Amino acid sequence: MRVNPLLFAVLNGFFLMEASAIQNFLPLAEQMREGKFRASDWVGTGVEVTPPTKSFFALTPHAAELGIMGYDSLADVPAGSVAVHTIEGVMMEADTCWSLGTESIGRLIQQADAHKNIVAHVARFNTPGGSTMGLENFAGVIAGTRKPFVSWAKQMCSAGYWSGSSGDAIVVAGRTAMVGSIGTMVSFRDYSKAMEKAGVTDHVINATESTNKNAAFAEAVKGNYKPIRQQLLDPLNNVFLETVRANRAGKLDAKQEKELLSGMVYIGEASVSNGLADQMGSFEDAVQLALELAENAAKNGGSAAKKATNSTENTMFGKNKFSALTALAGLTGAAVTTPLVEAANDQLEEAGITGVALVSEAAFTELTAKANRTDTAEAAVATAQKEATDAKAAEKKATEAVAAAEKRADDAEAEVERLGNQSGATVTKPRKPAGTSEVEETTAESDAQKLVDKLHAEMLG
C-alpha cells in the first residue's frame, strides 16, 4: 500500500510552526484526516498542480539580467555562479505535490556545494516552519557547506529559522518580512466527546510492563500538561534554543535574548536591531553579500571547490566559514558551548591530531570537582590506613608488655612458692640483684674486742 507522505507527516509528525500558520492549515489537515482532500481532485478544475522538479537553480553575476536559471546539470551552470535554493511553505522532509522536501533540497545543496562552477549559496526562505522530521539533518547540511551560505528571509519562522540561521548570514527581505517564532509548543484536538456521542468507545490496553506508553498524551487529554512538557516539549526546545544561540553567537541582543528565544515573531528592521538577522535588503543584495563572502574566503585561502558533506557535525554550533577551533580562539566572538567544543574535537580528530582533547568549562568544572573528591577520599583512606597501622603497632606493644608483666608475676609466684616450701630452720636470705652489694656488712666479734683493747691501752698510757 502506498502511503501519502504528506498525510503521514501530518498525522504522525511533530511540527515547529508559527501559530497563525497552524490555524490556517488546520482546516486542510482536517480534510486530509477525513479523506476529503486529494491533490488529484484539483485536476480538471482549472487549478494546475505541477510536481516539483529537482533541477539546479543558479544566478550568474555577469549575466544577472537573465535572472535565476534552471539547469538539469551543474556542468551546464556558468562558472562563478551562485546556487539558489527555495524553501517555500510548510517544510516537510519528503517531497509533496507542492514543493520539494528538505531531504531533496539538502541533496541539491550538497551537490552544488561540491561543484566547481558554484561559488556561493543563497536560500530563499518563505516558510512558517514545518515538520521536525529531518530538520536537524537539513540544518546540518546548511551548516556543513564549504562555500558561503546566505539566507534571504521573507518569512523564516520556527523550523525555518532553525535551518536558515545555520548559514553565514541572514538578510531580511523587507519591512514586512517575518522572522522568529523560536520556541516549541504542541496542540491537538480531543475528539473523545464527539466519538462518545456517535456511539464510539475507545479501549486502551497497555502491556503489563508498558506503564508509561503514551502516558504523557493520556495525561494531557485529562488536562495534566506537565508530563508532556517535561518529556517532549522542554527537551526539544532546549536543542532548538541551543542551536540558535550557537548559530547567532555574539549577534543576539543580550538584553533581549530571553524574549527573542521565547517564541516572539519580529517584523522587518526589528529583526536586524535585535540580532536575529544581519541586514535588510533585496534578493540581489543577498546574492551580492554571498559573492563578497566568497571573495573574502578566497583571499583568506579558501578554495572554490571542496567535497560536500552530508554530515551534521556542525549542526549544533552553526557554520559560519570559520572553523570551530577558530571560534574557540575568540576570533568570531562565538560563545563556547558544549556542541562547539565537540565540533572542535571532531576537527582535531579529522586533522589526525591525537593525544589532546578540549573540554567545556562545565565539563572541566565537573572533572575538577570529581578529582577533588577523589583526592579527599584518597587522603582519608591514607589517614585511616596509617591509624590502623599505628593501632596494630600499639596493640602489639601492649600485648608484649602484658606478656612480660604476666611472666614477672609468674616468676614471683614461683619464688613465693619455693620459699614457702622450705623448713623453719632453714636460713633464707633475700636474693641480691646482680651487680649489687649487701646494705650492711656483719663485723666479726674478735675484731671488735681488739679495737676495744687498743682504745683502753691508749687511755692508760
Instruction: Check residue 428 and give its pLDDT.
Output: 57
| Of 103-107, 297-301, 440-444, minimum mean pLDDT range | 440-444
Residue in the structure block whose three cell numbers are 608488655: 401
When comparing pLDDT for 53 and 192, which is higher? 192
CB proximity list for 220: less than 8 A, separation 6 or greater: 188, 227, 228
State how beta strands 265-267 and 279-280 pair. Answer: unpaired
Instruction: Check residue 406 and give its pLDDT.
Output: 85
Judged against a pLDDT cut of 90, whether residue 271 lies above it is answered with yes
Average pLDDT of the segment spanning 261-285: 94
Average pLDDT of the segment spanning 306-318: 33
Find the radius of gyration of the CA atoms of the chain.
46
When comparing pLDDT for 230 and 438, which is higher? 230
The per-residue pLDDT for range 196-242, each reduced to its tens digit, is: 888 988 888 989 998 888 888 888 888 898 998 999 889 989 999 99
Instruction: Check residue 108 and give its pLDDT.
Output: 94
| Of 63-77, 114-128, 344-358, minimum mean pLDDT range | 344-358
When comparing pLDDT for 18 and 338, which is higher? 338
Nearest CA among 323, 330, 326, 331 for reference residue 350: 323
Cα dihedral value 194, 195, 196, 199, nearest 10: 120
Instruction: Check residue 259 and give its pLDDT.
Output: 95
When comparing pLDDT for 202 and 147, which is higher? 147
Domain ranges of the chain: 5-185+243-314
Instruction: Check residue 340 and give its pLDDT.
Output: 63
Judged against a pLDDT cut of 50, whether residue 309 lies above it is answered with no
* Type and span of the H or E element at 57: strand 56-59
Averaged confidence pLDDT in the chain:
78
Instruction: Check residue 303 and give its pLDDT.
Output: 43
Instruction: Check residue 52 and give its pLDDT.
Output: 60
The CATH code of the domain at 5-185+243-314 is 3.90.226.10
